A and B are shown apart, each in its own frame.
Chain A
Amino acid sequence: MMQREAKISNYFLAAYCVVCLLLLSLPLSGPVRALKAGVVYLVDPGIFAGESAQERVAQLPGRIRDLITADQENQTLRAQAQESLWLEDNLRQLNLENQRLRALLGLKAPRGWTPLWARVMARDPLNRYHSFLVDAGRDDGVAVDDPVLGPSPKGLAIVGRVVEVRSRASTVLLLTDELSAVAADISSGTVEGLVQGQGNGGLLLNYLPPGAKPREGETVYTSPTSAVFPGNLPVGTVIAIRPEDPFLAVKSAEVRPEVSAGALADVAVLIRGAAHPAQSGAAR
């Protein structure tokens, strides 16, 4: 019995290893992309349904608490109508939500772009500095390389860009990922460098010319020369200047991102040009 199981295990191991190595070796081939699309097709509806159910479950304790409170007050004060207390509580919750949405909608997107607000739907703790999934996709007008911004004290700031688009969801590559880079200026606007993700939550402003004098506390903004991101959007703040390497003709500085991607609940995906018909109202 054990020998039979061991034999089957060995065959399965060989087969699965071959398949996995093929998937890893040929990531851009048609069959591999078709397989990934198939897995996504099977999995996405479950995630959407789960997100909807989670929101409903999260509201339940508040509603139960409100019902109990209204019933107790109705028993002690007959004059106070139960409905007015219930409406007052709903209004308070609606006011809080209204304030939050107003704060988000009050942030202005760069000209020539239309912001589409989306919720961060799924994030893998092992990839918290690399990517997350948002609930806006092709049906909403999202395309690959669309910039993604998040709210910050300095307004909308860079979070990353869209790298994969599905019909109702998109994968966002964060700026802190090692493969991310954006042309950037320091706040004086006189020198341009390249901000690169480090894979550990930090950024590096690299390739500054030798004459550049970045200072700690300076804000880094996207450069108007960036091919993907609009110009003059906050990227982060310089926190340390790296010692100059005598063998390199460039300088670099460590940058703290303006937006902590791990805490984001809502992001704005910038879509080029006028509003897509599916986005009437922009906010979700």
Chain B
Amino acid sequence: MKALRAIARASGLFLGAALLQWLWSSHFAPYGLAPQLLLVLTVSEASRRGAPSAMALGFFWGLFLDSMGVRLFGANALALVLLAYAAGLVRHQMDSGEAAPQAVISIVASWGYFLFLGLVSWIFTQRFSWIGWTGFVVLPFYNGLLAAALAILRPRRRAW
């Protein structure tokens, strides 16, 4: 029963977040800027429930993001899995579930995410995929704000 509830929760979270990310990035992105909701949720899940569940969600969210693009199928999945792992490590060192730590972790994770995607693109296609300076400077703080808001709004859960 507990396993079924966990699977239902994970499925609902996966689908809901994926749709919300699509809706936000397609229809509410002024100047092409929309936060990486899936990245923020991956980091949040890792901080609250641990790396294993976050890595699973990050992997499938990453595949969803990769299916919307034309190449590097697997790059977003790899990036989110690594972020979830890193956030899980941080969780063991400090209380990362509060708004401020979540915001800082999301900001740093965003920069790492953009640079990592560029590096993977460079390795597999010999071209460094660069998001642009506007996105590189603005989006991490946008993600940080979203992470802080989520940390305040989401009820605290018992960790694994």
Taking the complex as formed, is B97 at the interface, i.e. its CB lies under 8 A from any CB of chain A? Answer: no
Interface of B, helix, strand, loop or mixed by DSSP = helix
A50 with B81: in contact, given A6-B92, A131-B70 (CB under 8 Å)?
Answer: no
**A50 B23 Cβ-Cβ under 8 A:** yes
Which residue of A is nearest B160, CB measured? A5
For A19, the chain B residues whose CB sits under 8 A away are: 59, 74, 77
How many chain A residues touch B (CB < 8 A): the figure is 49
Known: A2-B92, A12-B56, A17-B78. A39 touches B50 (CB 8 A): no
Question: Among the listed B15, B64, B70, B160, which residue makes an inter-chain contact with A163, where contact means beta carbons less than 8 Å apart?
Answer: B70
Interface size class of chain B, counting residues whose CB lies under 8 Å from the partner chain: 35 or more
Task: Indicate whether B40 reaches chain A with its CB closer than 8 angstroms.
Answer: no
* Residue from the list B63, B70, B130 in contact with A173, Cβ < 8 A: B70
Bound-complex Cα distance A19 to B77 (A): 9
Q: Is the interface of A mostly helix, strand, loop or mixed?
A: helix
A26, B32: Cα distance in complex, Å: 31
Residues 6 to 32 of chain A near chain B (Cβ within 8 Å):
6, 8-9, 12-13, 16-17, 19-25, 27, 32
Is A54's CB within 8 Å of the partner chain B? yes
In the complex, the answer to whether B74 meets A21 with C-beta atoms within 8 Å is yes
Q: Is the CB of B25 within 8 A of A24?
A: no
Kindly state the separation between the CA atoms of A171 and B66 in the bound complex, as whole angstroms: 12
Assess the A127–B19 pair: CB atoms within 8 A.
no
CB distance from A171 to the nearest CB of B (A): 6
* Complex CA–CA separation, A13 to B62 (angstroms): 14
Nearest first, the 5 A-B pairs at minimum CB distance are A23-B74, A20-B78, A9-B51, A16-B81, A24-B74
Report Cα–Cα, A163/B117, bound state, in Å.
Answer: 21
Give the residues in chain A near B34, CB-CB below 8 Å: 125
Q: Which residues does chain B contribute within 8 Å of A199, judged by CB atoms? A: 127, 129-130
Q: Of A2, A43, A178, which contacts B127 at CB under 8 A? A: A178
- Asked if residues A17 and B73 are in contact (CB atoms below 8 Å), the reply is no
Q: Is the CB of A16 within 8 A of B131?
A: no
Query: Does any Cβ of B come within 8 Å of A89's Cβ?
Result: no
Contacts of A1 in B (CB 8 A): 160
- Cα distance, A153 to B108, chains bound together (Å): 43
- In whole angstroms, what is the CA distance A12 to B53 when docked? 10
* CB-based contact A20/B23 at 8 Å: no
Could you tell me the distance in whole angstroms from the C-beta of A66 to the nearest C-beta in chain B? 23
By a CB distance below 8 angstroms, the chain B residues around A46 are 15, 18-19, 22
Asked if B88 CB lies within 8 Å of chain A CBs, one says: yes
Question: Could you give 20 example pairs across A and B, Cβ below 8 Å?
Answer: A5-B52, A9-B51, A12-B81, A12-B85, A13-B51, A21-B74, A36-B67, A39-B67, A47-B19, A50-B22, A122-B25, A123-B25, A123-B26, A123-B29, A124-B68, A125-B135, A126-B114, A130-B70, A171-B68, A199-B127
Chain A interface (Cβ within 8 Å of chain B)?
A: 1-2, 5-6, 8-9, 12-13, 16-17, 19-25, 27, 32, 35-36, 39-40, 43, 46-47, 50, 54, 121-128, 130-131, 133, 163-164, 171, 173, 177-179, 199-200, 262
Query: Closest Cβ of chain A: how far from B69's Cβ, in Å?
Result: 6
Q: A25 to B125, alpha carbons, bound, how many Å?
A: 10
Q: Is the CB of A24 within 8 A of B73?
A: yes
> For residue A20, which residue of chain B has the nearest CB?
B78
Bound form: Cα–Cα A171–B70 in Å: 7
- In the complex, whether B33 has a CB less than 8 A from a CB of chain A is yes
Q: How far is B36's CA from A13's CA once the two chains are assembled, in angstroms?
A: 22
Q: Is the CB of B92 within 8 A of A16?
A: no
